[in-house]
């Protein structure tokens, strides 16, 4: 498989009045052609910042992509791209859909115009061609009455439809990578499923790779090939869908999985929730970032950051529990059943 995107040692900081917030602290990962990679983690763990950094959409300043960080798109370093290259890179090579379809479309422009805009920029289409293409795209994302809807303003469409329009915009120029930043969070559950199905279908059709940013493991389970669990700006565990759901080894991944509601839970049973708060990203992190909330925290966890350790070719994690002299800790009871599907 061909590597289409390589992120190497990405560091992103925000300069605020309170100090330098180190939001992303050395993340590396690869994305292959046609693959779906999920970035999972709670709010503030740096997953959206990572996604925006890939497109260079962070406002600099206050944001800063640290020296030495590399984001290689087909070997070309995005961090060093000039303005001109960036505007072809965005939309043509990589495009993005956002969390809230209610606010991510320009309220004073028809949806047709908003789709046509990128066609006119990247494919150099004239108005007529672009409009015909916009209608075709709306049909592809299953919007009924597309010929009429191109003239609609965003406020005339429902949330689900607006997200479909966003998808149409993002895919209009056949990008190699589609970054979906919590694409279903603002939608209700039935629409969520539709949008996820649509994304899956279009991924095949347009032959794109997808980076899915989400905190919803339910979405991930259906959709992703590879999963990266992020915590405090670092990747704590990564692996295939199977590795993470059925054989995860990191206590934080366990906590995430345990807090997903299940159909077979007793109604009186309280849903698991992880206590405490993530560490303050302004302060320097000593030891494992998760140590303050970890049930299995040991002395070493407070002192030294665990190195990333590969269990198999696909599955790796950073946790001191994997050290030969660490006590044996089993996966939590509740998660164990899932090994047999």
Partner 1 sequence: MGRYILKRIGYMFLTLFIITTLTFFLMHSIPGDPLAHMAKKLPEQIRLNYYEKYGLDKPVIVQYGKFLKNVITKGDLGESLRYPGRSVTETILKNAKVSGRLGIQAIVIGVTIGIVLGIIAALNRNRWPDYLVMFIAILGVTVPVFIIAALLQYLFTVRFELLPTTGWGKFKHTILPTIAMCFGSIATYARYMRSNVLEVINQDYILTAQAKGVSPFNVVRKHVLRNAILPAITILGPQIAGVFTGSFVIERIFGIPGLGFYYVSSISDRDYTMIIGTTIFYATLFVFSQLVVDILYGVVDPRIRVSKSGK
In the complex, the residues that contact partner 1 under the rule CB under 8 A are: 55, 57, 83, 86-92, 95-96, 98, 100, 103-110, 114, 117-118, 121-122, 153, 155, 166, 169-170
Closest separation in Å from C-beta 181 to partner 1: 10
Residues 6 or more apart in contact with residue 106 via CB below 8 angstroms: 114, 154
Q: Which is nearer to partner 1, 105 or 125 (CB)?
A: 105
Q: Which is nearer to partner 1, 9 or 156 (CB)?
A: 156
**Which token pair is 319?**
């946790």
- Give, in degrees to the nearest 5, the angle at Cα 257 between 251 and 263: 150
Q: Which is nearer to partner 1, 116 or 294 (CB)?
A: 116
Helices (H) and strands (E) in the chain, counts: 12, 13
Residue at token pair 């140590």? 291
Q: Which is nearer to partner 1, 118 or 192 (CB)?
A: 118
Closest separation in Å from C-beta 2 to partner 1: 24
Closest separation in Å from C-beta 141 to partner 1: 16
Closest separation in Å from C-beta 110 to partner 1: 8
Say how far apart CA 55 and CA 43 lie, in whole Å. Answer: 20
Closest separation in Å from C-beta 271 to partner 1: 31
Backbone Cα Rg of the chain: 21
Q: Which is nearer to partner 1, 210 or 274 (CB)?
A: 210
Show the 3-state SS of 281-320: CCCCCCCCCCHHHCCCCCHHHHHCCCCCEECCCCCEECCH
């Amino acid at each position: 498989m061909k590597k289409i995107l390589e992120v190497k040692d990405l560091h992103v900081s925000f300069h605020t009045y309170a100090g330098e917030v180190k939001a992303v602290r050395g993340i590396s990962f690869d994305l292959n052609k046609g693959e779906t990679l999920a970035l999972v983690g709670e709010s503030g763990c740096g997953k959206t910042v990572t996604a925006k950094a890939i497109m260079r959409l962070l406002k600099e300043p206050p944001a800063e992509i640290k020296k030495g960080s590399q984001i290689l798109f087909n070997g070309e370093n995005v961090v060093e791209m000039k303005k001109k290259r960036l505007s072809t890179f965005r939309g043509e090579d990589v495009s993005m859909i956002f969390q809230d379809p209610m606010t991510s479309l320009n309220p004073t422009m028809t949806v047709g115009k908003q789709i046509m805009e990128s066609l006119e920029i990247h494919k150099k289409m004239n108005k007529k061609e672009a409009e015909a293409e916009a209608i075709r795209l709306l049909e592809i994302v299953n919007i009924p009455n597309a010929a009429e809807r191109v003239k609609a303003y965003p406020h005339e469409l429902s949330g689900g439809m607006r997200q479909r329009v966003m998808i149409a915009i993002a895919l209009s120029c056949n990008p190699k990578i589609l970054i979906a930043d919590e694409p279903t969070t603002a939608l209700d559950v039935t629409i969520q499923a539709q949008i996820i199905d649509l994304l899956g279908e279009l991924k095949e059709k347009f032959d794109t790779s997808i980076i899915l940013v989400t905190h919803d493991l339910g979405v991930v389970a259906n959709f992703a090939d590879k999963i990266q669990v992020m915590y405090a700006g670092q990747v704590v565990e990564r692996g295939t869908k199977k590795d993470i759901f059925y054989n995860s080894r990191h206590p934080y991944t366990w906590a995430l999985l345990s807090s997903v509601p299940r159909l077979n839970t007793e109604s009186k049973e309280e849903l698991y929730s992880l206590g405490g708060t993530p560490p303050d990203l302004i302060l320097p992190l000593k030891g494992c970032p998760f140590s303050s909330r970890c049930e299995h925290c040991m002395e070493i966890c407070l002192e030294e950051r665990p190195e990333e350790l590969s269990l198999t070719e696909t599955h790796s994690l950073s946790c001191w529990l994997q050290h030969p002299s660490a006590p044996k800790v089993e996966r939590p009871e509740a998660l164990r059943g899932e090994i047999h599907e």
